[in-house]
A and B are shown apart, each in its own frame.
Chain A
Amino acid sequence: MKINVKHIAKLANLPLSVEEEIKFEKQLLEILSYVEKLKKIDTKNAKITSQITGLENVTSEDKASPSLTQDESLSNSKSNHNGLFKVPKIL
């Protein structure tokens, strides 16, 4: 089994150093080989459970409520300009 750690880190938007890549590859492989044990079960006829409550049809009426103020919205950003969040230019 091999993991393309570089590719996974890219998908996950996680910049990793070379040392980290090596370290994590080893650890991830170990964990993955443990969870491989699920392959032993016969899941052919089992339904999937993506939610445990059994709830359905939970919605809200279309009514507008007050929003955060502009100051509140920006209050934790380190970089903003004229009420907008600011980041280095995206190509």
Chain B
Amino acid sequence: MKPVIGLEVHVELKTKSKMFCRCSADYFGKKPNTHTCPVCLGLPGALPVPNKKAIEWCVMLGMALNCDIPQFSKFDRKNYFYPDLAKGYQISQYDEPFCLKGSIKLDSGKKIGITRVHMEEDTGKLIHETTEGEDVTLIDFNRSGVPLVEIVTDPDFDNAKNVLDYLKKLQQIARYLNISNADMEKGDMRLEPNISISTNGELPDYKVEVKNINSFRFVEKSIEYEIERQTNLIKESVKPTQETRGWNQAKQKTVTQRIKEESSDYRYFPEPDIPPIRWTKSQISNLKSQIGELPEEKLKKFKENYKLSDYDAEILTREVIQADYFEETVILGKKYGLTPKQIANAIINRRVDLEKILPAKLIEMIISAGKTDKVNDETLRKVIKEVLEDNPKIAQDYKKGKNSVIQFAIGQVMYIIRKKIDTEILRKLIMEELK
């Protein structure tokens, strides 16, 4: 029995305006229903006008996931009724999305197929409450119409850890491209895994969709719970019901949300109010050139070109701002004979506030920290002899082959002299005295 998992992730783009109207898309924390207009409120007579930047960012994300970008693409209407869906249909993409057939490699080396990446609009927000004794649902349309990119993977995952790795990588790419904050807790990255268990190596004939996984913390837990739930059912010869389940954070389990008696008939048809998109070759190559280095490439470069350790390289490339800062400092530092390793150490160990300390200042700090005081050899030898006499164990351990004891000696000398001395000179002198 093997879990078969495919993911649907929605990423909310941080454009200035919404997907099909020019209301501000910066809706978080704003007074309800203050970022609406005839278009996103679904008033009679309103018409959509697509956001160019949102479309470009969707394509760039697809490119970062190694997708094909078809020359021709269009929008379609997805028809269904729900109170948070102002028009009674969502403008989305059905059979001719912006990006197709991509892939991404996980840390484990496993390759995940990306089925498609497409553009759609977000819905309003529902709040369930009891006011004045009534059980009600309240609706805020500020979020209605905000651009969403949907990334669908092939059912290539077989465990929760891989899913977490994928999400982290996707989040990193979105942040590198600077198209979204991709923050699960804030709702600008949303995950819907489709989980089933294969008993015979074939693709199962059912799948369970899990909703409401709202933070990175619960991704692994929720998926593992569902895998176990389904596995147990199958062990008892019960086929899991094809349904949508919700992750209940309080109870730490998935619960039935609605059983799909019939899979929803969305009656997709081409959106008549929006002309299709046709790309020229130069437009595509232009977008590609805007992408810059992605996390995977940067990591490779940091390890190979800058000769950083895996650990250091991973930390420095986690966020593009830090990576860029590092590279800028390396270029500057070259003039002063500083190595990438020194700069990496300084950034990582000293936990430098990159916003407050400019690269030039950081270099100054590294240099002054590395400056050593000049003390003449005679004075040094005198102090070394003193230390060796006071600490006979040093000579004993050194005879036994414990070389680390030299470091201790260096420390003791520096403590007495109270000056920063070139450790290489000290080491040489100490070893001479020990002989």
Which residues from chain A sit less than 8 Å from chain B, CB to CB? 11, 13, 50-51, 53, 55-65, 67-70, 73-74, 81-90
Q: Which residues of A contact B269 (CB under 8 A)?
A: 50
Is B23 a contact of A89 with CB atoms below 8 Å?
Answer: no
Closest Cβ of chain A to B21, distance in Å, is 8
Q: Which residues of B contact A53 (CB under 8 A)?
A: 275
Chain B 1-41, CB within 8 Å of chain A: the 1/0 string? 00000000000000111000011111000011111111001
Is A67 a contact of B52 with CB atoms below 8 Å?
Answer: no
Is A59 a contact of B55 with CB atoms below 8 Å?
Answer: yes
Is A58 a contact of B127 with CB atoms below 8 Å?
Answer: no
Which residues from chain B sit less than 8 Å from chain A, CB to CB? 15-17, 22-26, 31-38, 41, 49-55, 81, 83, 88, 126-128, 131, 134-141, 265, 267, 269-270, 272, 274-278
Nearest residue, chain B, Cβ from A52? B272
Is B52 a contact of A62 with CB atoms below 8 Å?
Answer: yes
Given A56-B277, A56-B278, A58-B49, also A64-B25 (CB < 8 A): yes
Q: Which residues of A contact B275 (CB under 8 A)?
A: 51, 53, 55-58
Bound together, the chains give a CA A88 to CA B135 distance in angstroms of: 6
Q: Which residues of A contact B16 (CB under 8 A)?
A: 62-64
Bound together, the chains give a CA A90 to CA B129 distance in angstroms of: 10
Q: Which residues of B contact A59 (CB under 8 A)?
A: 49-52, 55
Q: Which of B126, B138, B267 contacts A11 (CB 8 A)?
A: B267
Is B22 a contact of A63 with CB atoms below 8 Å?
Answer: yes
Bound together, the chains give a CA A15 to CA B26 distance in angstroms of: 38
Nearest residue, chain B, Cβ from A71? B33
Q: Which residues of B contact A13 (CB under 8 A)?
A: 81, 88
Q: Which residues of A contact B33 (CB under 8 A)?
A: 70, 73-74, 83-85
Is A87 a contact of B137 with CB atoms below 8 Å?
Answer: yes
Q: Which residues of A contact B272 (CB under 8 A)?
A: 50-51
Q: Which residues of A contact B15 (CB under 8 A)?
A: 62
